[in-house]
Structure formats: structure tokens, C-alpha cells
Amino acid sequence: MDTSIFQHFRKEEQDFIRKVESWVVSCQEQYAQILTPFLDPRQQFIVEAIVGQFDDIKFRFEGGYIAAERKRCMIYPDFYTPTAEEF
């Protein structure tokens, strides 16, 4: 992955960015969906910024109820359609 993305985020977020990049690689190489742990709003923004760059994978956030602040994210190949029960 491109390390120039680090310049757009805080230094303390670099470990999380690497984790998101590893989720992207796993999704692309294994054609499998990745379900993250619960993410805070800043982490959700980072996931959206990184995963949103790829045409072959999609993402969806679910928190269990409409106003949930912390949400899990499913990163999945573009041919897959996740259901709410999978979260």
C-alpha cells in the first residue's frame, strides 16, 4: 500500500491505518468479507477514506440501532451483498 496516505492522518493513527490496509488486502486477495470490531467515529472516517479508494471492494457500517456512535464495518467484495444479521 501507498505510505503517502500517512501524511493525511495523525501519527498515532498509523497503526490503525496499517490494520485497515491489511483488511483491504485480505478482502481483495481472498474475496472474503471482513467484519471489524466496533469503531469510533474517527476510525470510521479512516476506513471510509481508505476503502473508498477501491472500486472492487465496498463497505457498510452497522451499529445495532440507528443512532449508534460506535459501529462495526463490513468490508466486502463488490459482488457480495451483506445482510444485517451478519453484523
Instruction: Write the pLDDT tens digit of every residue in 44-57.
Output: 999 999 999 999 99
In which residue ranges of the chain is pLDDT below 50? none
How much is the pLDDT for 3?
61
pTM value is 0.86
C-beta pairs of 42-45 under 8 Å, 24+ apart in sequence: 42/13, 43/16, 44/71, 44/73
Domains recognised in the chain with CATH numbers: 13-86 (3.30.1370.160)
